[in-house]
Every structure is written in C-alpha cells, then in structure tokens.
Structure 1
Amino acid sequence: MNKSLFAAITAPLLVALSLTACNSSTAKPEAPLEGARIGGPFALTDQNGKTVKDTDFAGKFRIIYFGYSYCPDVCPVDLQKIAAGFARFEKQQPERASQIQPIFITIDPERDTPQVLKQYVGAFHPRLIGLTGTPEQIKQVADAYLVMYKAQKPAGADPKAYLVDHSRQAYLMGKKGEPIALLPYDGTPEAIAAEIDKWTA
C-alpha cells in the first residue's frame, strides 16, 4: 500500500480514537471507541440474497470486518484469526457468544456476489454473515465505518483480475450499534477471545 493511501486510511481512525478518554472513577473501564463516530444504518444483501439491515442485529453485539473474497492473503488470514478467536470464546461462553454476530462486509461488490460470499464465509465460521450491495451502498457503509479502499485496475489488464487496497479494522460494536473496541485481528485466538470477553461481559 502506498504511503498516501495509508495516511488517508489511518487519519480518520486516529481522529475517532482521539475522541475517547480514560475514566478511572468507574469500576469498568471506558470502552476504547466510546463516543467515536463509527458505524451507522445500512441495508445490504447477505450471502443468501436476503436484504439485511443494521436494525436486524439490534440487541446483539457485532464483530465487523471489511475485506473481499479475492484478497490473496491479508483478508483470509485476518478472518481465520478472528473466527478462531470467536470460536474459542464461543466454546468458553456459549450463551454470551450467541448474543454476538460476526459480519464480513465486502469492499469489492463487483465480484463479491451473494453466491461468491456464501462459499467464502462458509469456510471460516458457520455463523459468519457475508454482506454485499451496490457500489454506492458499499461506499456509504464503508465511509460510516471509516474504512478506506481503492481498486487497483491497471490499464490493459484483465478487468476481473485486480487487487483492492483497503484499511484493516475488526470492530466490536455494541447492542445498539455503537463502537466499543478494535479487535486484535493480527493477534492470537486467545488474545481475540480475551478482548471479546472483556467488552461483552
């Protein structure tokens, strides 16, 4: 990823993180992303071709990761670790895990059709939902979650063979859709499970 794109990706997230503050007067620590302007309403299409809205997850925590199925390495590795961490937490705390919905949102809607996503998300976790939509819908939800992305389509190359540069965030969102924390997608399953446990108690 080039430096200018990296800067454009990280700057909004750093601004959002700067909105949070420490509060040592309470027993439970303040969530790292509390008060950040991350997230918002959406209406997308899941891997079964069904329209899914953010309100469908009301009352549940959400793990949200943006990527694309044609990603050669980063996305599948991240998803494997997130899924493994969630599965570990699920085994330790099945009742609490049932109140958490893992979600994968594509940033490559041109190729990631519902049929493609159905095969893709099924390889990681049986409860993982894959969401796609029109380019306009995807841009709207990506902007709301401070996710930057840009397709790299060299002139004269195969129009269906391209990479997409994108920011990497794994969000833990609250029961009302509010941002809580960033999950350590590049950490161990134990670290991911511990972070989920910490903020969903």
Structure 2
Amino acid sequence: MLPARLRLALIALSLCAVAAVLGATLASRAGNANETRGLELSKDGWAGAVRPPTQRVPDFTLKDQDGKTVTSASLKGRPVVYAFVYSTCEDTCPAQVQTIKGAIDDADRKDVRVVGISVDPVNDNPKRAASFLLKQGMTGRMEFLLGTREQLQPVWDAFAIQPQQDNLEHSAHTILADASGRQRIGFPYDFMTQEALAHDLGRL
C-alpha cells in the first residue's frame, strides 16, 4: 500500500489533470459559441431575414448573358442564390457579388447556383452582362439573366424588388432559395456579410 502522503499527491495530480482537460474543453466550446454569437441569429438559427413560407420563386423564362434560356423550373433541385444587379453598377453590385463569391467559397457549397437578375433592362445587354461577370471573376459561376421590363417586372414583384431608376436606387437584395424553389432567406445589401451568408448557405 502506498503511503498516505503519496496517495494524496497522486490524487492531487489527477485532479489537476482533469481540471486542465475540462478547462481546455470549455474554452474550445466557448470559442465556438463566440464564433456563432458573432452573428445575430433568429430564433430559428438564421443570420438573414426569414421569408414567409408561402413565398416561392416565380415562374419565369429569361435569357442569360450567352443567350441561353433559363427557366425557374430548370433551377429547381439545388439551392439558388438570387442577386438583383445591373451591369454598369460600380459600387453596390460588385460588392454584393464579391460577398456572394466569398461566402460560397467559405461554405464550400459547390452545389449552389448563383443567378443575377437585371434591374436595369434598358442598359443591360449580353455584352455588358458578360463583361460584368468577367470583372467579378464570376464567369462560369454566375448567370446574369436579362429581359424586357415586361418580362422582368413579375420577377421583381415576386421577390419584392425595386428596379433601378434615375432618381431611385434599386433594391440590392440577395435571396436564398431552397431546392424546392421556395424563397427562404433574404439579405439587404447593408446587412449582408460574407460570414452571415456563408452561415445560412451552410444550413440551406
């Protein structure tokens, strides 16, 4: 049998080791919690604004920058990021698209499609749309859908988007839709961060 003093010393060392492991575990959990707490999440755990459950992606048939026909039906089956942009924009639209690009890379979601929808049909054309994608490093990663005002108006209305006007800036919103074609989460430009968008893409 070990002497009493030696037994006490061993017990003390064991307790110290347990305390150290417990402390490291709690610190790690606290760190992870702090990362999540860095985002303001809804009670359902989303960083963006939760859209009404009945709000769906509208039916549409539009052409992209390469003249290819894209329909809402062809986009179903995988999550879609919808961005409302225009090709001659020099501030909010490029920043919006770069945030989306970074978030998709962070979330490592190769299954997500990115679709830009024109909010300036008068000035957006295939050449300008393709140039915009090239400048943003999104050629092959994003489709820029074009159309007339008559074709685009029902899409804007369904997503609650104000198009670009001479005296009024467009709604620079990013909207996440799930694989079934339901609008799930919305991000106004001023409240969208790469971290928040990546978080919600990871949950979508």
- TM-score (norm. length: structure 2): 0.69
Q: Deviations over 1:105-139 (max 9, x none)?
A: 11111221112111212324231111001121111
Give the distance between the partners of 2:73 and 2:87, measured in 1 at CA.
25
Deviation at 1:45, TM superposition (A): 0.6
In structure 2, do the counterparts of structure 1 residues 136 and 35 end up closer, same or farther at CA, with 3 Å as the change threshold?
Answer: same
Aligned to 1:5: none
SS at match of 1:70: coil
4+ residue segments displaced more than 3 Å = 183-188
3-state SS of paired residue (2:124): coil
Q: Secondary structure at the match of 1:149?
A: coil
Greater Cα offset, 122-131 or 74-83: 122-131
Q: CA deviation at 1:64?
A: 0.2
Shift of 1:34: 4.2
Matched, 1:115 2:127: yes
Aligned partner (choices 191, 196, 200) of residue 201 of structure 2: 196
1:98 shift after superposition? 2.9
Which residue is equivalent to 1:130?
A: 144
Inter-partner Cα distance in structure 1 for 2:96 and 2:43: 31
Number of equivalences: 158
Over 3 Å counting, the alpha-carbon distance change for 1:139 and 1:174 in structure 2 is same
Alignment partner of 1:81 is 2:81: no
Matches of 1:133 and 1:111, distance apart in 2: 11
Going from structure 1 to structure 2, the CA distance change for 1:71 and 1:164 (only over 3 Å counts) comes to farther
Give 2:173's aligned amino acid.
Answer: Q
Structure 1's unaligned 5+ residue stretches are: 1-21, 91-96, 153-162
Task: Provide the rounded CA distance (Å) in 2 between the counterparts of 1:63 and 1:84.
Answer: 13
Q: Which amino acid aligns with 2:112?
A: I
TM-score normalised by length of structure 1: 0.70
Larger Rg: 2
Contact 1:41 1:55 in 2 (8 A): yes
- Cα 1:150–1:112 change in 2 (3 A) is closer
Q: Cα RMSD between the aligned structures?
A: 2.4
Q: 2:65 aligns with which of 44, 47, 51?
A: 47
Provide the rounded CA distance (Å) in 2 between the counterparts of 1:150 and 1:119: 19
- The residue aligned with 1:69 is 87
Task: Provide the C-alpha distance between the structure 2 equivalents of 1:164 and 1:60, rounded to a whole number of angstroms.
Answer: 33
* Residue 106 (structure 1) aligned with residue 118 (structure 2): yes
State the shift of 1:184 in Å. 6.7
Cα distance, 1:148 vs structure 2: 1.1
Retained in 2: the 8 A contact 1:42–1:54?
yes
2:159 is the counterpart of 1:145: yes
Unaligned runs of 5+ in 2: 1-41
